[in-house]
Chains A and B, each alone.
Chain A
């Protein structure tokens, strides 16, 4: 399985060749789909040290570029999968996750082909763990809602008229976590997270780009009922500019 992942990853990333592109349109709407490789520990939910989950992920993004070339981004994503563990296979469970993110990025550096942005991000993730075999007596699904606020930065390298490379790093600093058990705020003392995105874009026409994106998402909540989640996502998308 790990070899397959590596081959898939290599194939996607081998397509990346660095040339250049300039974006003239002010709005971009992007739809992408890809594959998620995830790992989850949630001791509030089950006594499992590490679940693995894989499955398709779908994303819809909107980006507005202002007159001063600042960016306003909205990102939605959805994935559906099954939490699996070989060790305790009777505790496998269906899992779905929906995310909604807003970020505002101000242009802080622009020279030659490099542009750097800095700003703030809000990210909301809702996860639903549903078990079709639960009895009618125990018919409540378990859910978590994570609302994060953090700082974010993006750099973009335009290597040719047609191609660019972009990367975005977000560090959440405050988390509001609501579960079936409780709702509580956490700061960086207890909650450490990083969201990293590496994106390659190729201009097809004045209105369309295609993209290949890698996402690395990691979250660690240091509480007695430990929570940790790691995601690698590989996506291919099409971008409509207007």
Chain B
């Protein structure tokens, strides 16, 4: 009986030691790439803000506290939601019509050089406050920057996109107008950068824009965050 006791204890302890020490193996390496991106990623594409005048960062940044995009979609972890403002206001009137919002119909530019690889231009704009869950991207453009970075510009105004799939675009070139299509409750631009053109396999990338003003402070290279007012020049 003593032998059985000792054996039982011995094997139980061995199991515990093994299981504790093999945590790293069982948990695997997936996610180390995401950690490295979070801590060290430098945007390869020369990016500039894709609009003129003052815009307000509704959501942006690298934490749950700052940015509602941070989860649960890995591909848009660092995405920005941005609205055009005038005198610190986003709209006139009662805000029940898209036209009440300064953002609606505002010119949008390519943030960097690249090639248009996908787009949609025929989705109706929403009534403010009502989302289109079935076509969540709305009218959109995907730009392949030909360096492993892909820009996504979402929720554009119906029939406003003036580039086509296969076109080459240059930084600052007009591509469409801001709108309120797709999974959007009000006119705004959703912009994010990711590693592939796929919403399934793409991993979101931090976006460092060059030469812009954030709350009137010139920023040579930076990542806009929630509640900043930004402009290109």
Contacts and interface: CB of A to CB of B under 8 A. Distances in A.
Given A14-B9, A16-B8, A137-B59, A46 B20 contact: no
Given A18-B4, A226-B31, A232 B65 contact: no
A220 B73 CA distance: 19
Contacts of B5: 16-18
Interface string B61-85: 0011111101111100100000000
A13 B65 contact: no
A134 B13 contact: no
A66 interface: no
Given A14-B9, A48-B35, A224 B201 contact: yes
Given A14-B9, A49-B29, A198-B12, A138 B67 contact: yes
Interface of B is mostly: helix
A87 B35 CA distance: 8
Interface size, B (range):
35 or more
B38 interface: yes
B73 to A, nearest CB: 6
Interface in A49-108: 49-50, 87-88, 90-91, 93
B26 interface: yes
Interface size, A (range):
35 or more
Nearest to B36: A47
B127 to A, nearest CB: 21
Contacts of A214: 12, 16
14 contacts: A9-B13, A9-B20, A13-B13, A16-B8, A16-B9, A43-B30, A45-B71, A47-B34, A49-B29, A159-B4, A216-B15, A220-B26, A225-B74, A226-B28
Interface of A: 2, 5-6, 9-10, 13-14, 16-19, 37, 39, 41, 43-50, 87-88, 90-91, 93, 131, 133-135, 137-138, 140, 142, 159, 165, 179-181, 198, 214, 216, 218, 220, 224-226, 228, 230, 232
Nearest 10 interchain pairs by C-beta: A47-B34, A49-B31, A138-B68, A181-B72, A226-B30, A180-B72, A13-B12, A44-B72, A47-B38, A49-B32
